[in-house]
């Protein structure tokens, strides 16, 4: 019998408990293994009430759970980067294997955890930390083991994808879409982590360490959010054949890894563009297999619980057969070696300009000064206020140059407010 201890009975913890309890016979039929939740640590009585937890299993002390000799696998599902880290470190020190869904912890303080796991001969399962129920960690680690990963695109945050989907399908504003997402429980009261790309950047960090075997740090991930996206940009994107997504992008550019999370345009013909609502997807390009895509629910009690359970079963299978071999460097620790080279990509730019002769010539002249060439222009009909939106798609350009050109253009007397620029990911990686 393999004993599991669950620390934290929130959304993911409850889903994990439910699946392990209700599917115990199914898992035994499939693997021959008896896997049982033997301890649960939770301090909030509201979270443990009415869940049919047998007496004697429950404790308020995570330390007690970790010490319990019947607990072979510790599932840290409480979240946060303080106590959760202490509990994981303590479990590893005692030689217990650990499963966690804690993306923030792994992305920000993963080095220590993986170092001690290696030292103690323990393994850390983190399938649930990236894209909830999608088995993308094992797909990359095991399924594509013969491939060098050359690039990845990810729709890694369901909240922001839900908001952008509503804005795209219904033409509503960011604020209205966010309000609905909050009403429906898809967004937190303070939605900063989700809408400003931080949660997605955590996941991208973990994916990059696994897929590129590269010790990226959070500060190296260029991170932007969706709160400034306007319906007019979504509408122009559609005219040019694109959708706007909060896209995690990681590429191997001349031997250095570039990683960014920000709103980007992607062609409607690209499979990532049809990932709608709260769904997540990761598009992984391997040098042998070519492009692959993994899609599913990125959050939720049972979807994420399903990923936690898959890690527990995997570990239990190997424990039972004394296969305590650690897999290769699934999470590369260390300091980042060199900084990323700038990737050249096309851009969408939108200026608000007075509707008079010579404007376009002046704007395109400044772009030309910065060696940015134009692939398409769209100027809308005259507005009553005397201002019109001018949209320019550029050929491949560096972001630094583009920003300099934009600053210069924004200073022109006939340009109103700050102009908009959005990356275009053609996705033919």
Spatial CA neighbour of 39 closest among 80, 91, 81: 91
CB of 155 to its own copies, least distance (A): 12
Among 15, 79, 197, 215, binds its own copies (CB under 8 A): 15
For its own copies, give the closer residue by CB, 142 or 426: 142
For its own copies, give the closer residue by CB, 182 or 276: 276
Task: Please give the Cα distance from 235 to 240 (Å, whole number).
Answer: 9
Q: Which two tokens stand for residue 189?
A: 């009261």
For its own copies, give the closer residue by CB, 43 or 184: 184
Spatial CA neighbour of 390 closest among 412, 247, 262: 412
144 is an interface residue for its own copies by CB under 8 A: yes
CB of 362 to its own copies, least distance (A): 40
Spatial CA neighbour of 282 closest among 144, 82, 80, 117: 144
123 is an interface residue for its own copies by CB under 8 A: no
CB of 285 to its own copies, least distance (A): 10
Among 2, 27, 229, 353, binds its own copies (CB under 8 A): 27
For its own copies, give the closer residue by CB, 48 or 304: 304
For 337-364, what is the HEC assignment? Answer: CCCCCCCCECEEEEEEEECCCCHHHHHH
Sign of CA dihedral 137, 90, 85, 11: positive
Kindly report the backbone phi and psi dihedral angles of residue 417, in degrees, each rounded to the nearest multiple of 5, phi listed first.
65, -170
Task: Considering only residues 32 through 51, tell me which ones interact with its own copies, judged by CB under 8 A.
Answer: 32
329 is an interface residue for its own copies by CB under 8 A: yes
Q: Across-strand partners of 374?
A: 394
CB of 289 to its own copies, least distance (A): 4
Match 């649960």 to its residue by tokens.
40
User: What are the start-end ranges of the H helices in 373-412?
Assistant: 399-410
* 400 belongs to the catalytic site: no
For its own copies, give the closer residue by CB, 230 or 292: 292
376 is an interface residue for its own copies by CB under 8 A: no
Sign of CA dihedral 182, 175, 276, 192: negative
Kindly report the backbone phi and psi dihedral angles of residue 256, in degrees, each rounded to the nearest multiple of 5, phi listed first.
-115, 155
Q: Are 391 and 236 in contact (CB under 8 A)?
A: yes
The half-sphere exposure of 15 on its side-chain side, counting CA atoms within 13 A, is 20
Among 8, 133, 191, 346, binds its own copies (CB under 8 A): 133
Task: Considering only residues 153 through 172, tell me which ones interact with its own copies, judged by CB under 8 A.
Answer: none
303 is an interface residue for its own copies by CB under 8 A: yes
26 is an interface residue for its own copies by CB under 8 A: yes
For its own copies, give the closer residue by CB, 254 or 323: 323
How many other C-beta atoms lie within 10 A of the C-beta of residue 254?
A: 9
CB of 417 to its own copies, least distance (A): 35
Kindly report the backbone phi and psi dihedral angles of residue 422, in degrees, each rounded to the nearest multiple of 5, phi listed first.
-135, 130
Among 95, 290, 368, 386, binds its own copies (CB under 8 A): 290
Count of residues touching its own copies (by CB under 8 A): 63
Among 126, 214, 294, 331, binds its own copies (CB under 8 A): 294
From the number of C-beta atoms within 10 Å of its C-beta (0-12, 13-18, 19+), residue 96 rates as buried
121 is an interface residue for its own copies by CB under 8 A: no
Among 29, 34, 407, 418, binds its own copies (CB under 8 A): 29
295 is an interface residue for its own copies by CB under 8 A: yes
244's enclosing H/E stretch is strand 242-253
428 is an interface residue for its own copies by CB under 8 A: no
Task: Considering only residues 202 through 231, tell me which ones interact with its own copies, judged by CB under 8 A.
Answer: 213
Q: Are 266 and 245 in contact (CB under 8 A)?
A: yes
The half-sphere exposure of 127 on its side-chain side, counting CA atoms within 13 A, is 23
CB of 250 to its own copies, least distance (A): 18
User: What are the start-end ranges of the H helices in 174-225?
Assistant: 174-183, 192-195, 198-211
Task: Please give the Cα distance from 21 to 23 (Å, whole number).
Answer: 6
The catalytic position among 96, 103, 109, 203 is 203
267 is an interface residue for its own copies by CB under 8 A: no
CB of 293 to its own copies, least distance (A): 4
Residue span binding its own copies (CB under 8 A) among the ranges 3-11, 181-189, 221-229, 286-294: 286-294
**Beta strands in 45-134, from DSSP E residues, in sequence order:** 58-59, 73-76, 97-100, 124-125
* Footprint of its own copies (CB under 8 A): 15, 19-20, 23, 26-27, 29-32, 127, 133-135, 138-139, 142-148, 213, 269, 271, 273-276, 281, 286, 288-297, 300, 302-303, 305-307, 309-310, 313-314, 317-318, 320-325, 327-329
Residues classed as catalytic = 203
């Amino acid at each position: 019998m393999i004993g599991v201890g669950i620390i934290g009975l929130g959304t993911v913890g409850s889903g994990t408990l439910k699946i392990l309890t209700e599917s115990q016979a199914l898992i035994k039929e499939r693997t021959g293994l008896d896997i049982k939740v033997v301890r649960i640590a939770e301090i909030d009585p509201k979270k443990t009430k009415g869940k049919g937890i047998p007496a004697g299993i429950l404790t308020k002390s995570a330390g007690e759970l970790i010490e319990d000799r019947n607990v072979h696998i510790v599932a840290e599902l409480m979240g946060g980067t303080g106590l959760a880290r202490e509990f994981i470190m303590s479990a590893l020190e005692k030689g217990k294997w650990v499963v966690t869904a804690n993306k923030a912890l792994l992305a920000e303080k993963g080095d220590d955890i993986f170092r001690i796991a290696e030292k103690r001969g323990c393994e850390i399962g983190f399938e649930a930390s990236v894209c909830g129920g999608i088995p993308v960690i094992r797909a990359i680690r095991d399924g594509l083991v013969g491939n060098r990963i050359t690039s990845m695109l990810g729709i890694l945050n369901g909240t922001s994808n839900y908001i952008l989907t509503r804005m795209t399908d219904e033409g509503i504003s960011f604020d209205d879409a966010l309000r609905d997402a909050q009403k429906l429980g898809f967004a937190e009261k303070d939605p900063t982590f989700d809408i400003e790309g931080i949660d997605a950047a955590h996941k991208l960090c973990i994916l990059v360490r696994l897929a590129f075997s590269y010790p990226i740090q959070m500060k190296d991930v260029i991170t932007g959010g969706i709160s400034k996206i306007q319906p007019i940009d979504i509408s122009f994107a559609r005219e040019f054949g694109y959708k706007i997504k909060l896209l995690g992008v990681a590429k191997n550019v001349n031997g250095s890894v570039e990683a960014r999370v920000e709103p980007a345009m992607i062609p409607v013909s690209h499979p990532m563009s049809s990932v709608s609502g709260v769904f997540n997807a990761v598009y992984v390009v391997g040098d042998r297999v070519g492009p692959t895509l993994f899609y599913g629910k990125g959050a939720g009690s049972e979807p994420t619980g399903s990923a936690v359970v898959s890690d527990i079963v995997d570990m239990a299978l190997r424990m039972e057969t004394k296969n305590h071999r650690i897999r290769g460097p699934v999470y590369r620790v260390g300091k980042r070696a060199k900084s990323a080279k700038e990737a050249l990509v096309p851009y969408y730019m939108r200026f608000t300009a007075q509707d008079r002769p010579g404007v376009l010539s002046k704007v395109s002249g400044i772009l030309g000064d910065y060696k940015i060439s134009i692939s398409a222009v769209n100027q809308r009909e005259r507005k009553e206020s005397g201002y019109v939106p001018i949209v320019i798609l550029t050929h491949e350009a560096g972001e630094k140059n583009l920003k300099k050109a934009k600053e210069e253009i924004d200073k022109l007397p006939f340009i109103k407010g700050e102009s908009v620029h959005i990356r275009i990911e053609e996705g033919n990686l």
